[in-house]
């Protein structure tokens, strides 16, 4: 009788875990876990190529922001060719 009770509890826990996992997979990606709203990340423009990227991913060199270490090494683009 005790084994049957343990088996039923294990099945219930497994069902609960599967339902919880499926519910999390269906949530929108940008949603914050605690307060239900996600703060938008600030976008910055690469001083060399003009690419927009999140500030957290940008590299800073000589007071300017760049998308890659290579662009930071090359420095800002000069002239009308830049977008």
Q: For the chain, which residues make up each domain, given as ranges?
A: 2-30+40-74
**Per-residue pLDDT, 3:** 93
Contacts of 45 (CB under 8 A, 6+ apart): 51, 52, 65
Which DSSP state fits 42? P
Q: What is the pLDDT of residue 20?
A: 93
Report d(CA 26, CA 28) in Å as an integer.
7
Which segments in the chain show pLDDT lower than 50? Answer: none
Q: What pLDDT, on the 0 to 100 scale, is given for residue 31? A: 52
pLDDT of residue 52: 94
pLDDT number for residue 36 = 56
Who contacts 37 (Cβ-Cβ below 8 Å, separation ≥6)? Answer: 31
pLDDT of residue 40: 79
* Per-residue tokens: 22: 């499926």
CB atoms within 10 A of CB 80: 6
* Token pair of 33 as six digits: 């876990």
């Amino acid at each position: 009788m005790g084994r049957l009770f343990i088996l039923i509890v294990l099945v219930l826990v497994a069902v609960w875990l599967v339902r919880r996992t499926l519910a999390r997979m269906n949530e929108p990606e940008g949603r914050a876990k605690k307060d239900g709203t996600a703060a938008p990340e600030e976008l910055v423009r690469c001083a060399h190529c003009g690419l927009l990227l999140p500030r957290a991913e940008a590299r800073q060199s000589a007071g300017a922001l760049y998308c890659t270490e290579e662009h930071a090494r090359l420095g800002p683009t000069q002239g009308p060719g830049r977008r």
